Structure 1
Amino acid sequence: MLAHTLSALLASTAIAQTSPEAVAPPQVSPTVAVPGTQERDEEDVQRSSVASDIIVTARRRAEAVQDVPIAISVVGVKELDTTGSFNVQRLQQLQPTLQFYSSNPRNSSVNIRGLGAPLGLTNDGIDQGVGVYIDQVYFSRVAVATLDFLDVQQVETLRGPQGTLYGKNTVAGAINITSKAPSFSYEGRAEVTAGNLEFKQAKASVSGPISDTVAARIGLSVTSRRGTIYNVASGNYVNAQDNIGFRGAILWKASDSFKVTLSGDYNRQNPECCAQIYVRYGPTQRPANRQYPSLTSQLGYAVPSTNPFDRLTDLDADLNARNILGGASLRAELELGSGTLTSVTAWRFWDWLPANDRDFTGLPITTLSQNPTKQDQYTQELRYAGEGNGFDYVVGAFAFYQDIHTTGTQRQGSAASRWLISPTVRDTTAPGNPLLYLDPTVLDGLNASNDIRLKNFSGALFGKLNWKVTDEITLSPGIRVNYDDKVGSYVSIVRDAQGNLVPATGGNPRQIEQRTALTPQAFRDEAYRAWNASYDFTASYKPSRDILFYATYAHTFKSGGLNLNGVPVAAGVAQTQFAQVKPEKVDHFEIGLKSQFWDRKATLNLTGFWTSIKDYQALVNDGANSTLRGYLANADKVRVRGIEADFSIRPSERFNLYVNGAFTDHEYTKFTNAPCPPERSGGSAAPAGNPGGLVGVPGQPSPLVCDISGQWLPGISKWAFSFGGEYNVPAQIFGKDGEVYLGADANNRSKFSSNASRSIYTDINGYTLANFRLGYRTDDFNIFGWVRNAFDAKYFELLATTPGNTGLVSGNPGDPRTYGLTLSASF
């Protein structure tokens, strides 16, 4: 059984591996990230007879995980496998404070406690608030979170601001993924799974020595599944899965004090994806003859079904979500003096080739919408973790460079004129002043070519000290100094079907309507440069062996950025005052209790937190067709506060149970110039300061901005729970000693908003997902049947208002009930 601790960017995280005979449920043993941990062999990690009492080498000495005052949850390889949590989307069902949203791999966001990234379409010009790390390497693209876990040892979710212990600064937390290390004894594992919806998954890994000082490991994962949405137009199932991943690593133990690990990986997705389908019609303030019911009637169109859980669509544009990530890293670790010097050098690449249907209908309105992107990323981290008499510490330096080039295309079709042009607009330059909306050639073939570039550098110095004042009291200050330098450009050139340039200003009535549909604009070499300092302080008090109290204050930031999806245009001039986005300024308070009782068979951890953010980076979509991707603005202030509880019990090796819960209170404390929700948009402009007409009534005037102070933030449920357990009995099959087990896990979340400005049309009702498994296992063999979403709950992952204020609301229905069989063997 391999159990080891691996030095991690999140302050060197301690690892614990459960045995097949006593598989712990997720978060039964909430492990914590602490400085100074080294990668160690099996004998360096001790475990008592009680599974929840895990002893790790944390601050360069053996200590129980409950002794370290940081809130983090760890899911090990056994839990990942038995619960089918093979990506971050599945992982969120085990951890109530983790949220993951995705309309496609690029447009994904990972939030912790509701904070991290704006819910909606991705903007390359800003940083993520939740860091994703794989083997101590920072991944700047959240797209990696949609890929399958590959030969993973464990996944840690660290809650709260970070940055004084490791590389990239993050204001909401981090997900740290640790791969299995090469071993100096031969070992291997293979797993195959088959299920409904033509689900097939295979995983395999082998490891062993090449020489006395060199070991290697190779892992492979393949996943495919039929789509969950049937496209009646193409005859294909869409929103499918088609993933493949490869990882290899070589470990060289040059001496007892020096070792080097070289690793590389390649991950590819290439499904027919991703469709957002009709959910409902929600009236806006646009004139009635320009809203969804009237427009579709004029064009003789009807969706295949108005019930989204019929899972039917007729999208007529190509769909594709090819997503390729890979790279290489070199990690060197040298025991030097009283500590360890670690260097992590990495290169990452990302290749995104999408195709979307951005009118969300079977009509030829927008026939092509894509933003293929290429990225190269380079990181270098150097840190030293040491200890002295009564203290230990980490100091380090981090450098990050990112180069992104996006070349987008959007093309309008034959139905675009009637859909997008007002029926009152006439071509005054033509005889008889014909109505432009009746002429399909006005917008048919209109094309926007976008060129988007970003060069992004970030450098930092950081440090953390743990000073043991007495046997009971420890004080832990930390500091980070950070410099960011971002230079970006956005150029959108619009041409008509004949290839003629559409001017940014002036022109004839046809050209005026053409640039209303697709707006030419350009800004080049827009720069954001700034120094920032972060600091935090934790005080902990341990009055007895099984009780720990702690309190933390952190003052940190999320880097400012650039709007690289275009900005509003007035009189043909790009409003470049919106090109830059201010940094978020974060004040975070946290108190916690960690406790064990009943001879350490039960664990109860409680956390209270209060996070205030000034200049919160919020996504804005002004409803225009030309702002499909939205732009960013700063909300004055938001506040998120709550209480988290993690409880687990293991009375014997035969039974375990866990319940985790979170109450999260959240609001825009002050956001007086926010975008209006769809029910207050689309009408003629109301005078400045006027609240506008009746909500959701066609033909009413609409305010220019709305005051949404006191309203919900998007994506956060007030209540969230995860719970489950497992029972096993000894059994002997074919002469092999093992156990039969029955396991269950479930998660529940309450209603949440799916729009930057809360809308009466885009709240998502709460739901509960329940999963079950029944199987038989031995030390080296496991077979089990499983069912996910066992009660076939009908729920949405996302709801979105579509461009143009037509009242069309689209969404992503969650997976239906799925079931299958998994077989694995190891040697």
Structure 2
Amino acid sequence: MTLRNMLLGATMLCAAATPAIAFAQNAGASDTDYGNEIIVTASKRSQTLQDTPIAVSVASAADIENSQIRDLIDLQSAVPSLRVAQLQSSANTNFIIRGFGNGANNPGIEPSVGVFIDGVYRSRSAAQIGDLPNLERVEVLRGPQSTLFGKNASAGVISIVTQKPQYDFGGSVEATYGNYDAITVKGNVTGPIGENVAFSLGGNFNRRDGYAQDLRLGKDVNDRNRWGVRGQLLFEPTDALSIRLIGDYDKIDENCCIAANVIAGPTVAITDLLAGGTSVDAANPFSYRVYNNFLSSNEIENYGGSAQIDYDLGALALTSITAYREVRADTNQDSDFSGADLIGQKSDDTAINTFTQELRLTSDFDGPVNFLIGGYYFHEKIRQHSQIYFGDDFRPYGNALIQAASGGLLDVPTLEAALGAPNDSFFHAGDGMDEHYRMKNTAWSIFGTLDFGISDRLTLTLGGNYTKDRKRFSTDVISTDVFSGIDLDAAAYTPFREFVLVSSGVDPATAAFLAANPTLTLPDGSSANPLAGLKDFQFLPPFLDVPNSVEPGRVSDGDFSWSARLSYELTDTVNVYATYATGFKAASVNLSRDSRPLAADLPAIVAGGLATPNLVAGTRFAAPEESEVYEAGLKANWSVAALNLAVFKQSIKGFQSNVFTGTGFALANAGKQSTFGIEFDGSVRPVRGLNLNLAVTYLDAKYDSFVASAFGDLSGMKPAGIPDLSVSMGGTYTHEFAGGTRAIAHVDYQYESPTQIVDGLAALPASVAQNLKREVNQLNASFTVALTNGLELGVWGRNLTNARYLTTIFNAVAQSGSVSGYPSQPRTYGVTARFKF
């Protein structure tokens, strides 16, 4: 949200020496010259990527084609500092750079990694993951980028750039067939409409059968089914004025995403019994066999348009980017991931409408001083309707659990009778929660950079951004879970406590005394309240809506982010730089059934008579994140080689942690998380036609302070999910035959050292989570023959090693002791035909 938007498109820094954003593109390099002639465009000037003092990785169109990168999830195989996690649906994807990133699973949580497509910010992951036709490049900017990108770039930026319309008629069409009956078709056509008007029109279709099997339903699952169209018009009525209009629509309709059983807890015996057979493929996460009661659905529509106007005023350039976007995501999932019908529905119907406007003025003076100044406005509306309802098996499942918890003394009918509840009211099929959430977010910022050429080789760049962010939110949540609405500590249940105590063998006088004094314990140390152990089964308690007389349902933040950078040209081919930068991410709102009053507000809520049964403190919103980085780097570009090296210390205060606990999500601010890191990437062409590349990232991360995590005090510990070492290496060899036919062979390899997958697991010993680790070893390859008539034929494979790992794990829903996880995608391969004209 603030500012960041458009700075991608083109004009960003000023000064001939050091733009703050990298816009890399192939500068007319041939297909045999990968990576060394990347050009940065800033203020309508060209500059090599090596001259840009910022840590940025670029995947060109050739890289994307050769590696068969289909979407942002695949991009991590080429950028070792980037990690992309596919979560429980096609609408939930988490982007992490240098170990920092969040934002999925809750529409009120803004991401720490900003994603932009042609300069337009995509505020939520549902708007980011569709396939795009006619890509030109993808840039990954590492570290805080809030000076130019505003409040949602506290960890970094992913910038996707598509090709502009051309005045020469041309285009391409591509068709792919792969295993799992995968069919992908992409096409693009561009050309002139008039002397000063050009167009482009692209489309894509991507369909694949599921690579997993639901043995209960007899269906393939985790399929792929998406398509999209994208049109552009480029008006250039004069040499000084350029207007680029873009409109797009894409649709996803998929069954995603399976969760495998990692640890089989004691409840598996019960779910097997209820399912009448196998309910989970116990402790076999890579069998790709699951058992569900209904197919999970993901229907996502993402559409919008933008207008970018560039006006050349001579020594000044004016740029305006206006955009409006809508996202509609309707998902439903069998979220207990078992053959027992425990959760009959878990649906989320989300609507996001976003308007952005950026205006900036950039100088291009001949003197030592240049500037960029601009403003940014963001307005977003979010509406979500969520529903979670018990399935047909939840009542007998709850009955079995309560009998086990009470040693056979209690069952659900006994509880209903003793507590005065109607018969068949506890855990009734179809009961649960109906939830409505609303949020409006308005933000604006002013920003600028100043470049000062201290000498011909030394440049100082200063930047600043003031952001103001306001959010208003409201909830309307109704729980029909009768059992969760009962206060098991209420004095009205004293007779029931006495009855149970007598039934347990305690003499009547003692039982009466203990029942009247529920804080006392029995001689064996157990609670005098025999119902206390049943509180764990109160899954969906009554909800205190916001706003109310204590909680206004508003949050407002303001922040000034700034950066200072020195860059020095050691030689014509080697540059060094040093940077200090701060970043900011505004407060995030907990738009979920786990939203609870802050501990500081709870006494006033109770005093005001607003408390609902079983109300406890939690999180309505998380405070802002504040990041900073100290970084030094070196960039070099020679005729046959190039390298980039960065050493940094990066930290985020108040990191917004959103952790799944088994029944919901715990949103909390970590005190501080920091990372020391070293990043290297380089390429070399030892002989004509051969290009070798290597990228290595080393990260030493820790929680400096995280006292109130969902799993206790994590201060001093290493955050989960961040490998110490990540490596991406590859090579491309192009051989040109007589007559012009070319053969292109490509191979790349991705490695991540073993790392703990999650910080902890609710109700399980810390050692369980510590022993569950992820290690990645993935090999991709392709071979293409390009004929002189524009036809290309190729074969390819991704994850040829069939590497298997868990992207994330979590407590199985309402199944204490069981752990579920999302397995990686298996080996894929296919053939591709492409025709360029």
TM-score of the alignment, normalized to the shorter chain, above 0.5: yes
- Give the aligned partner of residue 304 of structure 2: 327
**Structure 2 residue matching 1:717: 3-state secondary structure:** coil
- Give the aligned partner of residue 527 of structure 1: 554
C-alpha separation between the residues in 2 aligned to 1:404 and 1:390? 46
Deviations 1:232-283 (A, max 9, x none): 12211111000101100111112110111111000111012222122223x6
Match of 1:516 among 526, 538, 546: 538
- The answer to whether residue 583 in structure 2 is matched with residue 556 in structure 1 is yes
- The answer to whether residue 434 in structure 2 is matched with residue 449 in structure 1 is yes
**8 Å Cα contact 1:163/1:462 also seen in 2:** no
**Structure 1 residue matching 2:128: 3-state secondary structure:** helix
Matches within 5 A, 1:695-714: 706-714=712-720
**Structure 2 residue matching 1:521: 3-state secondary structure:** coil
- The answer to whether residue 703 in structure 2 is matched with residue 668 in structure 1 is yes
**Structure 1 residue matching 2:199: 3-state secondary structure:** strand
C-alpha deviation, 1:335, in angstroms: 0.7
Deviations 1:729-775 (A, max 9, x none): 2225xxx5211222101101112333243754453331211011122
**8 Å Cα contact 2:279/2:340 also seen in 1:** no
* Unaligned runs of at least 5 residues, structure 2: 1-7, 14-19, 497-530, 548-552, 598-610
C-alpha separation between the residues in 2 aligned to 1:442 and 1:130? 40
Cα separation, partners in 2 of 1:603 and 1:431, compared to 1, 3 Å: closer
Which sits farther off after the overlay, 587-596 or 348-357? Answer: 587-596
- The answer to whether residue 346 in structure 2 is matched with residue 369 in structure 1 is yes
Match of 1:116 among 94, 101, 122: 101
- Give the aligned partner of residue 572 of structure 1: 613
Structure 2 residue identity aligned to 1:801: N
Structure 2 residue identity aligned to 1:713: P
Aligned-residue identity in percent:
28
Cα separation, partners in 2 of 1:766 and 1:429, compared to 1, 3 Å: closer
C-alpha separation between the residues in 2 aligned to 1:729 and 1:106? 42
Match of 2:622 among 581, 593, 598: 581
C-alpha deviation, 1:373, in angstroms: 0.5
- Give the aligned partner of residue 259 of structure 1: 242
**8 Å Cα contact 1:137/1:346 also seen in 2:** yes
C-alpha separation between the residues in 1 aligned to 2:722 and 2:581? 22
Structure 2 residue identity aligned to 1:69: P
The TM-score normalised by the length of structure 2 is 0.84
**8 Å Cα contact 1:538/1:551 also seen in 2:** yes
**Structure 1 residue matching 2:263: 3-state secondary structure:** strand
- The answer to whether residue 801 in structure 2 is matched with residue 796 in structure 1 is no
Count of equivalent residues? 749
Deviations 1:605-656 (A, max 9, x none): 1111111221111114444x3x3xx131111111112101102101343111
Structure 2 residue identity aligned to 1:422: I
**Structure 1 residue matching 2:50: 3-state secondary structure:** helix
**8 Å Cα contact 1:59/1:392 also seen in 2:** no
Which sits farther off after the overlay, 500-509 or 657-666? Answer: 500-509
**Structure 2 residue matching 1:148: 3-state secondary structure:** coil
- Give the aligned partner of residue 80 of structure 1: 64
**8 Å Cα contact 1:466/1:477 also seen in 2:** yes
**Structure 2 residue matching 1:660: 3-state secondary structure:** strand
Cα separation, partners in 2 of 1:475 and 1:414, compared to 1, 3 Å: same
**Structure 1 residue matching 2:64: 3-state secondary structure:** helix
C-alpha separation between the residues in 2 aligned to 1:791 and 1:225? 21
C-alpha deviation, 1:165, in angstroms: 2.4
- The answer to whether residue 758 in structure 2 is matched with residue 752 in structure 1 is no
- Give the aligned partner of residue 701 of structure 1: none
Deviations 1:143-200 (A, max 9, x none): 2332112221111111111122245541111111111111111111111110111011
- Give the aligned partner of residue 41 of structure 1: none
**8 Å Cα contact 1:417/1:436 also seen in 2:** no
**8 Å Cα contact 1:442/1:514 also seen in 2:** no
Cα separation, partners in 2 of 1:67 and 1:236, compared to 1, 3 Å: same
**Structure 2 residue matching 1:164: 3-state secondary structure:** helix
**8 Å Cα contact 1:333/1:341 also seen in 2:** yes
- The answer to whether residue 120 in structure 2 is matched with residue 137 in structure 1 is yes
- The answer to whether residue 430 in structure 2 is matched with residue 402 in structure 1 is no
Deviations 1:519-563 (A, max 9, x none): 220322411112111011111121211211111111222111221
Match of 1:91 among 75, 82, 99: 75
- The answer to whether residue 657 in structure 2 is matched with residue 618 in structure 1 is yes
Structure 2 residue identity aligned to 1:73: S
**Structure 2 residue matching 1:737: 3-state secondary structure:** coil
Deviations 1:212-244 (A, max 9, x none): 111111000000011111011221111100010
* Unaligned runs of at least 5 residues, structure 1: 30-51, 677-705
Cα separation, partners in 2 of 1:571 and 1:752, compared to 1, 3 Å: farther
- Give the aligned partner of residue 689 of structure 2: 654
- Give the aligned partner of residue 34 of structure 1: none
Structure 1 residue identity aligned to 2:792: N
The TM-score normalised by the length of structure 1 is 0.85
**Structure 2 residue matching 1:371: 3-state secondary structure:** strand
Cα separation, partners in 2 of 1:437 and 1:196, compared to 1, 3 Å: farther
C-alpha separation between the residues in 2 aligned to 1:523 and 1:648? 56
- The answer to whether residue 446 in structure 2 is matched with residue 419 in structure 1 is no
Which sits farther off after the overlay, 433-442 or 99-108? Answer: 433-442
C-alpha deviation, 1:293, in angstroms: 4.5
**8 Å Cα contact 2:24/2:139 also seen in 1:** no
Match of 1:191 among 148, 155, 174: 174
Matches within 5 A, 1:485-524: 485-495=470-480, 516-524=538-546
Cα separation, partners in 2 of 1:432 and 1:447, compared to 1, 3 Å: closer
Task: Name the structure where helix makes up a greater proportion of residues.
Answer: 2
C-alpha deviation, 1:431, in angstroms: 9.4
Cα separation, partners in 2 of 1:9 and 1:548, compared to 1, 3 Å: closer
Which sits farther off after the overlay, 360-369 or 438-447? Answer: 438-447
C-alpha deviation, 1:805, in angstroms: 5.5
C-alpha separation between the residues in 1 aligned to 2:374 and 2:486? 52
Matches within 5 A, 1:28-67: 29=35, 52-54=36-38, 56-58=40-42, 61-67=45-51
**Structure 2 residue matching 1:522: 3-state secondary structure:** coil
Matches within 5 A, 1:671-686: 671-676=706-711
Match of 2:468 among 460, 483, 489: 483
Matches within 5 A, 1:620-639: 620-623=659-662, 625=663, 627=664, 630-639=665-674
**Structure 2 residue matching 1:165: 3-state secondary structure:** helix
C-alpha deviation, 1:567, in angstroms: 2.3
Cα separation, partners in 2 of 1:709 and 1:186, compared to 1, 3 Å: same
**8 Å Cα contact 2:274/2:397 also seen in 1:** no
**8 Å Cα contact 1:504/1:519 also seen in 2:** no
Deviations 1:100-137 (A, max 9, x none): 0112222211111111216xx52222221111101111
